[in-house]
Structure formats: structure tokens, C-alpha cells
């Protein structure tokens, strides 16, 4: 991912609208690129200042942003587990349908 790609994904990250693959790539780039971490800090701070939900709250960028990054990492882990669980159920359903069809044909 390039820094330009990262920059274009920041609004989606802050609005929690990135898909799993985009979120994974975004977080990986965040870990690797100091200038993009700084850009995210600035955009996160601006969003928090203008966010109605945080009006009147004390802003602590050194705690808030890392907590938000960690919650997004946890969300990505949960999404991956959910995808894997769904794939297992889908496989079981297909297997069951095939076995049922075979039994139906031969019985």
C-alpha cells in the first residue's frame, strides 16, 4: 500500500467502513509508516474535535487513538473468525446437500 492509498482510506477507517482486506492493509501500513501514523493522528484529532458525540469530553490523543487502533484490530480478528465460521457452516451445508442428493438417488 502506498501512502496515497493510506491517506484515501483514512476517512473510511475513522468511519469504520473499511472491509476486512482494506482494514488489514491499512493497519499493516500504519504499523510500518511513521508519516502515515502522524497523518492519522492529525485526522483523528480533527474528527474528534468536530464530532458531536465527543463534545465536552477531554481529548487525550496519546490514549484515545491507540485504543481506537486496538479496537479496530480486535474487530478485524472477530471478522476473520466470523468469516471462517461461516465458511465451515457453508462447507457442512454443501456436504450435507451432496450426501442427501446421493442418498436420494440410490435409495
Nearest to 68 by CA among 30, 32, 29: 30
Domain parsing of the chain, residue ranges? 3-106
> What string of pLDDT tens digits covers the 107 residues of the chain?
899 999 999 999 999 999 999 999 999 999 999 999 999 999 998 888 777 555 566 667 677 888 889 999 999 999 989 989 999 999 999 999 999 999 888 87
34-50 vs 3-14: helix crossing angle, rounded to 10: 30
Contact in structure between 76 and 20 (CB atoms under 8 Å)? yes
Beta strands in the chain (DSSP E): none
Amino acid at each position: 500500500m502506498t501512502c496515497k492509498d493510506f491517506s484515501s482510506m483514512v476517512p473510511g477507517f475513522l468511519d469504520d467502513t473499511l472491509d476486512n482486506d482494506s482494514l488489514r492493509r491499512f493497519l499493516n501500513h500504519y504499523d510500518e509508516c511513521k508519516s502515515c501514523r502522524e497523518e492519522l493522528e492529525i485526522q483523528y484529532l480533527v474528527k474528534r474535535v468536530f464530532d458531536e458525540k465527543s463534545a465536552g469530553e477531554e481529548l487525550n490523543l496519546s490514549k484515545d487513538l491507540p485504543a481506537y487502533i486496538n479496537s479496530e484490530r480486535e474487530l478485524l480478528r472477530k471478522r476473520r473468525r466470523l468469516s471462517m465460521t461461516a465458511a465451515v457452516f457453508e462447507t457442512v451445508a454443501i456436504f450435507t446437500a451432496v450426501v442427501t442428493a446421493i442418498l436420494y438417488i440410490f435409495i
